[in-house]
A and B are shown apart, each in its own frame.
Chain A
Amino acid sequence: MAMLEVKDLNVYYGMIHAIKDVSFEVNEGEIIALIGANGAGKTTILHTISGLIAPKTGHILFENKDLTKIPAHKVVSLGMAQVPEGRRVFSQMSVLQNLKMGAYTRDDKSEIEATLEMVYKRFPRLEERKNQPAGTLSGGEQQMLAMGRALMSHPKIILMDEPSMGLSPILVNEIFDIIRSVNESGTTVLLVEQNAKKALMIADRAYVLETGHIASSGDAKELMNDDSIRKAYLGE
């Protein structure tokens, strides 16, 4: 039984049919990569899963609950967090306030403190800058904050939308190391990336999205060796 199951999803923006009969699943403990070119529909899928966009048809089952029937703000407390495209940190609020927003749905103060310690340990830079307005952080720091903020809800699954976007090569490696270690500590990961090579390297399985539909899928290592994938997405 998959942890997250997307079934026959169709999403429209007005007349534009952005997501066409998309189905995929994520099992507990996996890292699943969702790769595809600009405008393929990756962000749309993540937004639909989190409830920011309503699908026209289809189901999204998370631990057997149909997310399409649950309002967006109730999704976090089920154990699902998202690191949105472009970070979207609350720029006027401090780093610490941002992290606390991540734990908005949690009640237990001492458990929140413990998670905060864990996030600070993973991202020491955030602790150094905890009182700084998030808008004044560098791009890489904002990405770390967006990840830390998502971790603050103590999610079972974390959806990440292009976490490596706009970062220097060194930072990209650092971010992918963090994704791997978040996964190793027990969090399932659904990773949307344009950096297909890096994504396939850490993923267990992957789905390739082409203009709104799944063009191919399978074991990440096998996809990496697939000639057409290498040509289209790995630039070889």
Chain B
Amino acid sequence: MTFLNYLISGISLGSVYAIIALGYTMVYGIAKMLNFAHGDVIMVGAYTVFVAMSSSGLPALPAILLSMVVCTVLGVVIERVAYRPLRGAGSPLAVLITAIGVSYLLQNLALLIFGSNTKSFSTVVPLSPLKLADGRITISGETIVTILASIVIVVGLSLFINRTRPGQAMLAVSEDQGAAKLMGINVNGTIALTFAIGSSLAAIAGVLLCSAYPSLTPYTGSMPGIKAFVAAVFGGIGSIPGAMIGGILLGIIEIFGKAYISSQMADAIVFAVLIVVLLVKPTGILGKPIREKV
């Protein structure tokens, strides 16, 4: 039964990675850039909830909504101020380096405001754990909420992209920005919307992550951010179902690696698996084959 318990906590952790990976994959798919500051937006989201709940005494739900608003605004501002001026003109490397710079900027700002001590985050999930099979399997409230949230988000995003006008505009921009402009699509606006959505998801991921692993520092978002990026590549960067599958597989591999092989080596195992997958299928599990344009 411990196997099942590990599997469940792997899926749970993986669901958080999936939600973060969606932000990476959408921004990559549509703006063709790696937003390495995405992980740190998670941290900002978690601090926002922390401050709102512990200092201002806000209940969990309004605190989460506030955090989503803060992260959405932050994501749009980062895109507008740091990335848009470089788009088109500069090299992709300039954008990448800027993203790394923004990541450090956010970490250092958090350090300045909140200091380096770990804040203990109190869970936002009021559910008590679910016990199955005479108590041999325990599923925490956080796990249930996390898994449900990730499913709702993936289904919602897929519907948004395939069924709505702004969603279709995103698809068009992801394929060909010039042709999208010829259709009358505001490419800058569409990219800003993508950052807004990705960042509001980062807020949700931050809250879920810190509810399950309740210690919050300015570096909290960094490692999960990198792993979620790996998950996005693993599933096929640019693909929404790919981000979900990649995230969950990564979570399971990480927890199993910790449990059965070595807790020190777990992260190395995660990366080793990624390398193997990319050797076999360079575009990731659900990645589209790279086609030459005629």
Contacts and interface: CB of A to CB of B under 8 A. Distances in A.
Interface of A: 47, 50-52, 71-77, 81-82, 84, 86, 88-93, 97, 100-102, 104-105, 135, 139, 149, 153
A153 B184 contact: yes
B171 interface: yes
A104 B294 contact: no
B184 A52 contact: no
B186 A90 contact: no
Interface string B166-186: 001101100110111111111
A149 B176 CA distance: 15
Contact of B182 (A50, A86, A91, A93): A50
Given A51-B181, A73-B186, A82-B182, A93 B294 contact: no
Interface in B198-238: none
A101 B181 contact: no
Contacts of B181: 50-52, 72-73
A76 B181 CA distance: 9
Give 9 nearest A-B pairs by CB, closest first.
Answer: A76-B184, A105-B184, A72-B181, A88-B179, A104-B183, A101-B183, A90-B175, A73-B186, A104-B184
Contacts of B294: 86, 139
A23 to B, nearest CB: 24
Contacts of A75: 184
B172 A93 contact: yes
Contact of A72 (B169, B182, B288): B182
A73 B187 contact: yes
Question: Which interface residue of A52, A73, A74, A102 has the most chain B CB atoms within 10 A?
Answer: A73
A177 to B, nearest CB: 24
A52 B178 contact: yes
Contacts of A81: 182
Given A84-B182, A92-B288, A105-B183, 6 more contacts: A52-B178, A76-B182, A81-B182, A84-B179, A104-B183, A139-B294
A90 B184 contact: no
Interface size class of B (residues with CB under 8 A): 20 to 34
A74 B176 CA distance: 17
A104 B179 contact: no
B175 A101 contact: no
13 contacts: A50-B181, A52-B182, A72-B182, A74-B184, A75-B184, A84-B178, A90-B172, A97-B168, A101-B168, A101-B172, A101-B180, A104-B184, A104-B185
Nearest to A89: B179
A104 B171 contact: no
A75 B294 CA distance: 27
A102 B168 CA distance: 11
A53 to B, nearest CB: 10
A146 B184 CA distance: 15
Contacts of A89: 179
Nearest to A80: B182
A167 B184 CA distance: 28
A77 B182 contact: no
A97 B161 CA distance: 12
A103 to B, nearest CB: 9
Residue in A77, A82, A104 whose Cβ sees the most chain B Cβ within 10 Å: A104
Nearest to A77: B184
A88 B168 contact: no
A72 B189 CA distance: 13
Contacts of B175: 90-93
Contact of A88 (B165, B178, B186, B291): B178
A93 B185 CA distance: 16
Contacts of A72: 181-182
B178 A102 contact: no
A111 to B, nearest CB: 15
Nearest to A72: B181
A66 B291 CA distance: 39
Contacts of A52: 178, 181-182
A200 B204 CA distance: 61
A139 B293 CA distance: 12
